[in-house]
Amino acid sequence: MKQTIHLLFVWGLIAVLLGGCWDRKELNELGIAIGIGVDMEGNQYQVTAQVVIPSAVASKSSPSSGSPVVTYQATAPTIQEAIQKMTDTSPRSIYLSHIRMLILGEEYARRGISDAIETLMREPFTRSDFYIAIAKNNKASTMLKIPTPLEKLPANKMFASLDTLTKTWAPATKVTMDQLLSDLANPDIQSTLPALEAVGDIESSNEKGVDATKSISPGTILRFSGIGVLKKDRLLGWINDQDSKGFNYIRNKVVSTTGHADCQGGGDIALLTLSSDTQKKVLIRDGEPVISISVTNNSTVREVNCQHMKLSSMADIKEIEAASNEKIIEIMKHSVETVRNEFKSDIFGFGQLIHQSKPELWKRLKEQKENPFMDLKIEYKAKTRIRKIGSLLESFQKRMKE
């Protein structure tokens, strides 16, 4: 009897394990989307999917074999309906597990983006490691139809560009679904998203298709420039590269970048930031909070256009460090004042910082003031250390003029 029960248990277990592939789909039944765009068409959602053409990206395919992607588009009262409706024109169902970029049209972003975010998070096959951007002055569908050089797949190009930019250029920022969800759910910080621009003759590039990428100078290029400022889930407007750089310094998002400092006797000097670290804390003075921001940069000299400068002089090195400190503080101050004056939106997380360290004080501030961010006192500090001066000790341009 026991042997029979054990045998039945084993067969039952096998039956359960064999049923693990009940929802499997063959690859040739799926249209793998790597980019999704959401726009508004009247009161309905217009969704665009950039789908990979497997035969065009196979290793044996020639570069001139045609476009490696195709876009499908549908309009419906809900985003999920629009995605499913694409099967009207697509021979395969749209598969969302490999999305690299989510592009939101500017008009749609100004109405509110939370419904698109929630829809994609409810999708069981969607991962949350893709990047999100807003199409500045344009529709998301337009961005997904622009061919790109170097990278065969335009959505992959956007992903790789944003990934590289954030490691080498301070004004750039990247936002994943997880980070955006965290910010949207937190009342003490407002969200930001990178701005994606199309520069050039968009109509001509769309007409030429993949042939537009064969020119030395492509007719249209995609670039990330500046940051979109949100309040709750609605886009308010844009800040430029300089203010985006200040934002990233304050939020401790600068990995490496190149900037310049002014020389006292005229000219400027270019510095490569090797590493950067920002520390923020809340100080209490006369019962009121003061945000203390301290940036530490390790840098190297990359370009010298200052005739009086001697890199062999410790005094001149100290002068460069002081000039760099002034520049960083100036950039951070300007960024905060711009956001205060134009948007009144705490994208820097000052409220969150006070809430975490002084919850009772933050509660009192919110009761006393409608927007505590506008009146917060902020102290800025910067410390630049010149670690290297390059392979030249002195500028040969100076010797030429002697």
Contact 158, 131 (CB under 8 A): yes
* Cα 253 to Cα 171: distance, rounded to the nearest angstrom: 10
Pick the CATH number of 254-401 from 3.30.870.10, 3.40.50.720, 3.40.50.300, 3.30.300.210: 3.30.300.210
Q: How far is CA 166 from CA 140, 162, 248, 272, 335, in A?
A: 22, 6, 10, 14, 18
Report residue 35 as tokens. Answer: 């980019």
Tens digits of residue pLDDT in 60-98: 545 555 788 999 999 999 999 999 999 888 888 899 999
Residue 180, CA atoms < 13 Å, CB-side half-sphere: 30
| Whole-structure pTM value | 0.87
Weakly modelled stretches of the chain, pLDDT under 70: 1-28, 58-65, 204-215, 390-402
**Residue showing tokens 């010797």:** 399
Instruction: Give the pLDDT confidence score for residue 21 in this predicted structure.
Output: 53
Instruction: Give the pLDDT confidence score for residue 363 in this predicted structure.
Output: 93
Instruction: Give the pLDDT confidence score for residue 22 in this predicted structure.
Output: 47
Quick one: angle between helices 314-342 and 241-250, nearest 10?
100
CATH 3.30.300.210 domain extents, the chain: 254-401
> How many residues would you count in the chain?
402
Instruction: Give the pLDDT confidence score for residue 106 in this predicted structure.
Output: 97
Contact 320, 269 (CB under 8 A): yes
* Cα 171 to Cα 191: distance, rounded to the nearest angstrom: 16
Closest CA to 223 of 135, 97, 304, 330: 135
Q: Dihedral angle at the C-alpha atoms of 97, 101, 106, 111, nearest 10 degrees?
A: 30
Instruction: Give the pLDDT confidence score for residue 193 in this predicted structure.
Output: 97
- Cα 385 from chain centre: 28
Phi-psi region of 203 (alpha: psi -120 to 50; beta: other; left: phi over 0): alpha
Report residue 388 as tokens. Answer: 């290297």
Instruction: Give the pLDDT confidence score for residue 254 in this predicted structure.
Output: 96
